[in-house]
Structure formats: C-alpha cells, structure tokens
Amino acid sequence: GAVVSQHPSRVICKSGTSVKIECRSLDFQATTMFWYRQFPKQSLMLMATSNEGSKATYEQGVEKDKFLINHASLTLSTLTVTSAHPEDSSFYICSATFEGGGNQPQHFGDGTRLSIL
C-alpha cells in the first residue's frame, strides 16, 4: 500500500532553534500534502495544505512565517518550525494524497514528536 515516510520521529532541542521535518511519499506522487499538529489528548488539527510548486494554504491562526512549508516536488514536503519555543512542543503529522480520480484515501506519516526545552 501507499507509504508516507516522515523524518525525524523525535526532536528535542533548545528554545530558539529552528527544526525541519521532512515528509516523503515513497511509492506514489502526492498531488497534495497536509500538515497537522496534535497536542496531548486532543485530536489532529490541520495546519496547512500544500500543492507541489505553489504556496501553502494555512489554516486560520497558524503563523505562516513561523511554520514554513516547502513542497518542492511531488514526493517531498518539508515543515520548518522557526525559532521554536516550548509552546510549539507537539506531535506533528504529515499526510499525502494522490487524486488520480475518485476519492482517494489520505496516507499519513508516523509523526514527529517535537519537544522544545
């Protein structure tokens, strides 16, 4: 089945550090990729939607200058958390989909647990 690889799985770093998270679709070309954030005991919250070669669309309340998204190819999207602070500590999850017709599933990475000290 379709596989999405997310790296790294865990990051622990100091406040003020910028952190980059990669999301790759391994066996299909992802027309659209999504980034979610999940706080403890809560559901996933959509942060942004990105299409290859165009600017990401951010959800209300998500700072685009803080959460930089690059979708350089049909198999790779990156999320950079710039100047991270403790309140940015969360579980970040990427997702990808291929819409070749019909209503295809979204495929998710295993998530990145970000801890800012």
Partner 1 sequence: DAKTTQPNSMESNEEEPVHLPCNHSTISGTDYIHWYRQLPSQGPEYVIHGLTSNVNNRMASLAIAEDRKSSTLILHRATLRDAAVYYCILRPQAGTALIFGKGTTLSVSS
Stretch of 11-19, 62-70, 76-84, 93-101 lying at the interface with partner 1 (CB under 8 A) = 93-101
Q: How far is CA 88 from the centre of its chain?
A: 14
* Strand bridging mode 90-97 / 112-116: antiparallel
- Identity of the residue, 83 or 104, whose beta carbon is nearer to partner 1 in the bound complex: 104
- Identity of the residue, 10 or 85, whose beta carbon is nearer to partner 1 in the bound complex: 10
> Do 49 and 60 touch, CB atoms closer than 8 A?
no
Token pair 């990105």 is at which residue? 50
SS3 87: helix
- Asked if 3 is part of the footprint of partner 1 (rule: CB under 8 A), the reply reads no
Among 17, 43, 61, 78, binds partner 1 (CB under 8 A): 43
Token pair 């999207």 is at which residue? 77
- Asked if 68 is part of the footprint of partner 1 (rule: CB under 8 A), the reply reads no
> How many residues are given for the chain?
117
Which residues in this chain contact partner 1 in the complex, by CB under 8 A? Answer: 4, 6, 31-32, 34, 36, 43-46, 49, 91, 93-95, 97, 99, 102-111, 113
